[in-house]
Amino acid sequence: MDKKEDTTPEEIIIKQEDHKHNFVQFSDSSAIFCTICGIQHMNITRVKLSVERDDSEDKHLRLASLIPLVQKIQCLSASSIYDPNHDVTNSILNYIPETGKSGSWCAKVNDDKQWIRLDCKKNYKIYGVAIQGRHDNPQWVTEFKLYAKADKGKEEFFIGQFSGNDDRETIVEHVFTPRTARYIRLMPFGFNNHVSLRWEVYGEEI
């Protein structure tokens, strides 16, 4: 009996251009195809995506269709900042600094007690998070934990532990079982050269 050809997608890549794409790269090919428009694409910005399996939710959720809450709300705080030029306002995904500013939020101390937090100002249904390194220096977070708290909730709850970056610009996205939360706190516990990051949190109105 012939061995069945393995066409399991090796990687899912998401990018929004003139329409939403769902890119897949098959294990037996270096070509990248869009399953929606059915054509091969070149010069694709590669985005790593991990999916926490949950039968009750869409396993291939497109984060691009959700609200980018860090960008929209920008109500951010952190355990520390290196100095005013390395503030939390620099932490928005794909942020490119003005002259004199750093290319990300940078903590003052390099340890596993640093964190950055988004206050959404009300509860949202949170589906995922994205993380990126510092634009202007080889600094990034390699591993992190994610915590959340609902509006009027008494305690934070743990969402999960996730892999981070291995370069400055690649966006690493993680999709998980949706949680209802107002506050999202990202806590790095592994880093390259310095605790520095840009990030995004994706959700929808409740």
Domains of the chain: 9-45 (no CATH), 64-205 (2.60.120.260)
- Cβ within 8 Å of residue 127, ≥6 positions away: 61, 63, 66, 175, 176, 178, 202, 203, 204
Tokens of 195: 């605790």
Distance (Å, rounded) from C-alpha 164 to C-alpha 166? 7
Distances (CA, A) of 73 to 18, 93, 119, 146: 25, 13, 8, 19
- For residues 169 and 81, is the Cβ–Cβ distance under 8 A? no
**pLDDT tens digits, one per residue of 149-158:** 999 888 999 9
**pLDDT tens digits, one per residue of 52-72:** 444 334 433 568 889 999 999
Question: Rounded to the nearest 5°, which phi and psi values hold at 71?
Answer: -65, -40
pLDDT of the residue at 99: 84
Confidence of residue 20 (pLDDT cuts 50, 70, 90): very low
Q: Model-level pTM?
A: 0.71
